[in-house]
Amino acid sequence: MQPGAKLPLPDNHEDRGLYVTSGSVRIAGDEFESGQMMVFKPGDAITVSAGSTGARLMLLGGETLNGPRYISWNFVASSRERLEAAKEAWIQGDFEHGRFRLPVGDELEFIPFPGQVKSS
């Protein structure tokens, strides 16, 4: 967003959020800096104004998820079993079978799961 630009958020989603990736924004008189995330109530009229240096944002929204979500490091799943399976696949290095794929041309830089000893 250019400095001072305004962006009204759609109000037709149950869940709406905004993450400031750079710059700052003003919402309802409050200022939010890079690295902050806001979640808004359904139906609230929200207008985002870019700060004096502009802003880059990530907007999120959609229907409310239909159950619990489990989070561990970079993984999010709908069950603890799926979360553990993803964790184990990462630790085992399941990159050949497409479980974890990078865009064409990107090189894999393996980042170990927290607490995992990196093998040489």
- Residues 56-79 have pLDDT tens digits of 999 998 888 788 899 999 888 999
Domain that holds residue 79: 65-100
Domain count along the chain: 2
Q: Is residue 70 part of a domain?
A: yes
Please check whether residues 44 and 92 belong to one and the same domain: no
Looking at the domain assignment, is residue 10 inside a domain?
Answer: yes
How many angstroms separate the CA atoms of 28 and 5, rounded? 15
Condensed to tens digits (0 to 9), the pLDDT of residues 82-99 reads: 999 988 888 887 766 666
Q: Give the pLDDT score at 59.
A: 95
Q: pTM of the prediction?
A: 0.61
Question: Is position 71 within any domain?
Answer: yes
pLDDT recorded at residue 115: 83
Residue 65: predicted pLDDT: 79
Amino acid at 61: G
- DSSP 8-state class, residue 11: S
CA dist 119 to 73, 80, 88, Å? 19, 26, 15
pLDDT digits (tens, 9 = 90+) for 4-32: 999 999 888 888 999 999 999 999 999 99
Q: So what's the pLDDT on residue 118?
A: 59
58 and 12, same structural domain? yes
Domain-located, residue 108 = no
- Statement to judge: residues 12 and 54 lie in one domain: yes
pLDDT for res 102:
66
- Give residue 100's pLDDT: 72
pLDDT confidence band for 55 (50 / 70 / 90) = very high
Structure tokens, 105: 């041309």
Residue with tokens 């479980």: 99
Residue 111 and residue 102: Cα distance in Å, rounded?
A: 13
**Residue 116 included in any domain:** no
Co-location of 48 and 83 in the same domain: no
77 and 88 both lie in a single domain: yes
CA distance 73 to 113: 8
Residue 89 lies in a domain: yes
Domain check: are 27 and 52 in the same one? Answer: yes
Same domain flag for 54 and 85: no
